[in-house]
Amino acid sequence: MKDEIKKYSLVGTVKAVSISKKHTFSKKNQNIIKLVKGFGIEGDAHFGSTIKHRSRVAQNPDQPNLRQVHLIHSELFEELADRFHIEPGQMGENITTAGINLLELPADSVLFIGTSAVIQVTGLRNPCAQIDHFQPGLLKAVIDQDGGGNLIRKAGIMGVVLEGGEVKPGDEIRVELPPKPFKKLDRV
């Protein structure tokens, strides 16, 4: 039991799961989604082993898909609630979480979700101008700067599916941190 507590030092929950068959900005909430090892989320426009993000496909369609799953922490919606009304799935995420500061996770952290799904964190979502088409001013709200002038991207994280499985609201998320030294998340 002590090893399990040490191994999974961070625990959170799934608030919502969402997909879109087409390349739309927002995704529709589902009762359950199915993750497929090496490909992403069945039925989602970003499903595949090679990149599906349209601007990146135009650059090189053979790039590996490091953006199979997009996760956002629901605490971001709460942080922005005085200026924006955002519901799960509306910012294009597949999994909306609670209780884990996703942005603080090191690269290569592993998320165990529900009974069998496993996602490896690959990096930060790089928010684009489409966010302002959804709600004007939102892009500026999800990009910040630290004291050194470095960009802070708050629009969630991306990952790849290491083990498939079904994920639904209420599922527990357990985090396994990678070996030290930790690598800071960068945009993917």
Q: Note the pLDDT tens digit of each residue in 15-47.
A: 999 999 999 999 999 999 999 999 999 999 999
Residue 94 has pLDDT above 70, yes or no: yes
Helix, strand, coil percent content, the chain, rounded in steps of 5 = 15, 35, 50
Cis bond before residue 178 (omega within 30° of 0) = no
**Residue 169 domain-assigned (yes or no):** yes
What does the block give as tokens for 178?
């990678």
What does the block give as tokens for 6?
């040490």
| CA-closest candidate to residue 141, choices 72, 74, 84, 73 | 84
Q: What is the pLDDT, as a whole number, of residue 3?
A: 40
Using CA of residue 67, residue 188, residue 90, residue 53, what is the dihedral sign? Answer: negative
Domain of residue 156: give its range.
Answer: 2-176
Q: What is the pLDDT, as a whole number, of residue 59?
A: 84
**Residue 156 domain-assigned (yes or no):** yes
CATH number at 145 reads 2.40.33.20
**Residue 18 domain-assigned (yes or no):** yes
Q: Phi and psi (nearest 5°) for 147?
A: -60, -25
**Residue 145 domain-assigned (yes or no):** yes
| CA-closest candidate to residue 152, choices 165, 142, 162 | 142
**Residue 181 domain-assigned (yes or no):** no
Total domains in the fold of the chain = 1
**Residue 185 domain-assigned (yes or no):** no
**Residue 187 domain-assigned (yes or no):** no
Task: Read off the pTM.
Answer: 0.93
Q: What is the pLDDT, as a whole number, of residue 6?
A: 45
Q: Compute, in degrees rounded to 10, the torsion defined by CA atoms 127, 39, 30, 165.
A: -130
CA 27 – CA 40 distance, rounded (Å): 15
**Residue 182 domain-assigned (yes or no):** no
